[in-house]
Amino acid sequence: MKNTACDQLLNIETISSAFQNNKTFLSEQIVSCFYTCYQFTFIKWAKITYQHYPSEIIEFAANSAFTDAVLALRESASRGELYQGNASVKTVLFQYCRYKLLGYLKDEERLAEKNKKLIRHFSDNSNSTIDTVYEFKERSYQSIMRALAEMPDADRQIIQWRHIEEKSIDEIARLLAIKVTSATNRIYRCMQRLRELVEEMNKGGDT
């Protein structure tokens, strides 16, 4: 659902001006509004439209597609190539989203493997075998998913970008319209918070 601030920002002219002229603060606000206003709607649409896919697969694919679509739209706007006409921002963004989503769904097996990668970042043994990682996955996957659900949307998105989609820190900095050093710090803080939540949940399950 749109809020008033986002409603004022999410129009083609404002978006084009912000990204073409490198208006950092405004660009960051616009990216945030994309997620606030449209991410949930797109994921819901994807789940209904592609309900023959496993729920875990389609949700991850839709999230990944949305992230890539925001980046693609931003790059188009920065080059002055963002379609204007009479289309709404939502229509333009979802055109990018659908295209990206179809690309992900064409390779479901690769997508499923990518969705397991976050588990590896919770293993204390960097030399873990695949069997060890999967054993850890069975014990910890639900805790990690519950912990992610407790985190703010923005923090959860950063973790997905870095540790599941394996975007570079430069790419994440561009998506957030912040400096690389700031992006590095945010990634670290988000992962630390996720670890703390998982530990709290695991302790609670032992009592």
Residue with more model confidence, 35 or 140: 35
Domains and CATH numbers, the chain: 1-106 (1.10.1740), 116-207 (1.10.10.10)
Q: Tell me, what DSSP letter sits at residue 45?
A: H
Split at pLDDT 50, 70, 90, the class of 118 is: low
Whole-number pLDDT of residue 126: 44
Q: What is the pLDDT of residues 148-162, one digit of tens each?
A: 778 887 788 788 788
Q: What is the 3-state secondary structure (H, E, C) of 138-199?
A: HHHHHHHHHHHHHCCHHHHHHHHHHHHCCCCHHHHHHHHCCCHHHHHHHHHHHHHHHHHHHH
The percentage of the chain sitting over the pLDDT mark of 70, rounded to a whole number, equals 76
The residue-averaged pLDDT of 22-49 equals 86
